């Protein structure tokens, strides 16, 4: 595996984060919303998005895992917020990338079980060509082609997460899907 081309630059990301924060601010009462970041892939996006709002917002995270390297597996949720953080609240899942939609589907269901008044999704990246679940993000920064991406919080076996840009990870097609 080797790092390939820059797909989305740091400046493009910053611009998209600002626009997404503006859209969310227009659609929600920020004092009632709770952002739920899907870790670890959304770490950079969540950090930048929450700071882009004009007022403080409630933020929590969940630990989820689907990938082992580039191979998808069963979604596991190892930590969820307490019911009192979610019950009766408008919840916005913050995700680095929506790929098959399975992670967001599982998380949406779990948050609804905790009593969320509503659950929407805000994703920096959307890869609809790989969708296997009926999930649609309300807020999307960029639609990306069917390539494996790293950077800006997204990784390959722990590597490349700290890149400021989103880059393509090159390798054999069978290895990356």
Q: Exactly one of 48, 99, 126, 165 is catalytic; which is it? A: 99
Q: Which of 155, 19, 154, 35 is nearest to 96 (CA)?
A: 154
Query: How far does Cα 114 stand from its chain's mean position?
Result: 20
Active site residue 68: no
Give yes or no for a contact between 153 and 96, defined as CB atoms under 8 angstroms apart. Answer: yes
Query: How far does Cα 128 stand from its chain's mean position?
Result: 14
Query: Does the CA dihedral 101-102-103-105 come out positive or negative?
Result: positive
User: What are the catalytic residues?
Assistant: 99
């Amino acid at each position: 595996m080797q790092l390939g081309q820059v797909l989305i630059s740091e400046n493009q990301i910053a611009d998209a984060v600002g626009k997404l924060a503006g859209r969310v601010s227009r659609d929600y009462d920020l004092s009632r919303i709770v952002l739920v970041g899907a870790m670890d892939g959304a770490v950079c996006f969540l950090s930048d998005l929450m700071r882009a709002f004009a007022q403080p917002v409630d933020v929590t995270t969940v630990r989820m895992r689907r990938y082992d390297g580039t191979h998808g597996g069963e979604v596991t949720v190892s930590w969820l917020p307490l019911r009192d953080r979610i019950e009766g609240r408008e919840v916005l899942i913050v995700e680095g990338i929506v790929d098959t939609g399975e992670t967001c589907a599982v998380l949406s269901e779990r948050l609804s079980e905790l009593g969320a008044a509503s659950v929407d999704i805000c994703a920096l990246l959307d890869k609809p060509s790989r969708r296997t679940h009926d999930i649609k993000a309300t807020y999307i920064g960029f639609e990306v082609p069917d390539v494996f991406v790293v950077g800006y919080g997204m990784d390959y076996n722990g590597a490349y997460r700290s890149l400021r840009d989103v880059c393509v990870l090159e390798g054999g097609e069978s290895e990356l899907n």
